Amino acid sequence: MISVSDISKSFGKKGEIKALSHINMEVREGELFGLLGPDGAGKTTLFRIVTTLMLPDSGLVTVGGYNAVKDFKILRSKLGYMPGRFSLYQDLTVAENLTFYASIFNTTIEANYHLIRDIYVQLEPFKARRAGALSGGMKQKLALCCALIHKPEVLVLDEPTTGVDAVSRKEFWQMLRRLKDEGITILVSTPYMDEASMCDRLALIQQGLILDQGTPDGLVSGFPDRLLSLATPDIYRAKAIVEKIDGVDDAYIFGESLHIKTAALNEKAIAAALAAHGVAAGEVRSILPSIEDVFLAKMHDVS
């Protein structure tokens, strides 16, 4: 449905700031595709190119067979786009914003009400409230309604859950799953690694490069090495020691524990090495990698 091939984009007078380099990505029809990466990775730039708002320096983007550069006029009525920044009119009420977006897409709220009903019922009590006075989660729900009101074939959401509380985030992803069931292809970006499992497939992006893409399980099972985890109060010293052991590929702090990526060593070897240096480490366990581990490992490979 969305095909991104060899897209590059630079900013600055001499193009010295490389935002995207040779991006390739494929979003299939009817899937919920996630673009996962930290701030400044190039997610927004890529989305703006996909939504015809920016021209790439090189490469080709097609959405539903239409060229994002040449056929931008056709695409603009087929796309639903929710920018990362709240882009509705803060001084208009909830109902006025929705009516406005319906009108400029030549439709009415009633015509596509079934698409937004689940979301809009939550907004209905605040119908007469100005959009600027809504809570963060409510603003995002309204923005989603506005992006959906013309029944787009493709929905592009730029960090819709950033700055939203945990409960609302979960709710938001459930809404996206339901929209996917309606047959809408969804491309969504997020900086939160824990949201990766909600996507059918995803791409990892960092510093303008796609690190990897596939299903969440596929990405995790593609993790090449053994991953060990240990908990110790002296985590920084433990990290320094482990990094020097031969056969350790990488060691990084992950929340409150230390993750060790290694192909050659096992739990006992690490525990022994730490004991030799007098670091009291708890149990060293072999664990299944998460998306974040995959991300960090790939990042390490690239740099």
Partner 1 sequence: MTMANNTRFNQLKAFVIKEIHHILRDRKTLLVLFGIPVVQIVLFGFALSNEVKNNRLLICDQAHDVHSAMLITRLDASKYFDVVGYVSNPDEGTDRLRSGSAHMVVVIPSGFSADLRHSHETSVQLLTDGTNPNLAATIQLYVQSIVNDFRNQIFGKPDIPYEIEVSPRMLYNPQLKGSYTFVPGVMAMVLMIICTLMTSVSIVREKELGNMEMLLVSPMNAMTAIFSKAIPYLLLSLMLVTVILILSVTMLDVPIRGSILLLYLVSLVFIITSLSFGLAISTATNSQQVAMLISLMGLMLPTLMFGGFMFPIENMPIPLQVLSNVVPAKWFYYSINDIMIKGLGFGAVYHRVLLLAAYAAVFLAISYRNFKIRLS
Report the interface residues with partner 1, using CB under 8 A. Answer: 48, 51-55, 72-73, 76-77, 79, 81-83, 85-92, 96, 99-101, 103-106, 130, 146-147
In the chain, the largest separation of any two C-alpha atoms, in whole Å, equals 73
Question: What are the two backbone dihedrals, phi and then psi, of residue 194, each rounded to the nearest 5 degrees?
Answer: -70, -10
21/58 Cα distance (integer angstroms):
9
Q: How far is the CB of 235 from partner 1 (least distance, A)?
A: 41
Q: How far is the CB of 242 from partner 1 (least distance, A)?
A: 46
Residue 207, sorted as left (phi over 0), alpha (psi -120 to 50) or beta, turns out to be left
Given the complex with partner 1, which of 24 and 87 has the nearer CB atom?
87
Q: How far is the CB of 93 from partner 1 (least distance, A)?
A: 9
Residue 160, helix vs strand vs coil = coil
156/145 Cα distance (integer angstroms):
13
Contact 59, 6 (CB under 8 A): yes
Given the complex with partner 1, which of 74 and 231 has the nearer CB atom?
74
**CA angle 6–11–12, rounded 5-degree value:** 150
Tokens 């994002």 identify what position?
68
Given the complex with partner 1, which of 89 and 223 has the nearer CB atom?
89
Amino acid at 59: G
Q: How far is the CB of 245 from partner 1 (least distance, A)?
A: 50
Given the complex with partner 1, which of 157 and 209 has the nearer CB atom?
157
Given the complex with partner 1, which of 63 and 228 has the nearer CB atom?
63
In what helix (H) or strand (E) does residue 155 lie, and over which residues does it extend?
A: strand 154-157
Q: How far is the CB of 107 from partner 1 (least distance, A)?
A: 10
Given the complex with partner 1, which of 53 and 231 has the nearer CB atom?
53
269/262 Cα distance (integer angstroms):
11
Strands (E), the chain: 2-11, 17-27, 32-36, 58-63, 66-67, 79-82, 154-157, 185-190, 201-206, 209-214, 226-230, 248-254, 257-262, 284-287
Q: How far is the CB of 61 from partner 1 (least distance, A)?
A: 13
Given the complex with partner 1, which of 93 and 213 has the nearer CB atom?
93
Q: How far is the CB of 54 from partner 1 (least distance, A)?
A: 6
Q: How far is the CB of 134 from partner 1 (least distance, A)?
A: 15
Given the complex with partner 1, which of 82 and 270 has the nearer CB atom?
82
How many other C-beta atoms lie within 10 A of the C-beta of residue 17? 11
Strands (E), 28-90: 32-36, 58-63, 66-67, 79-82
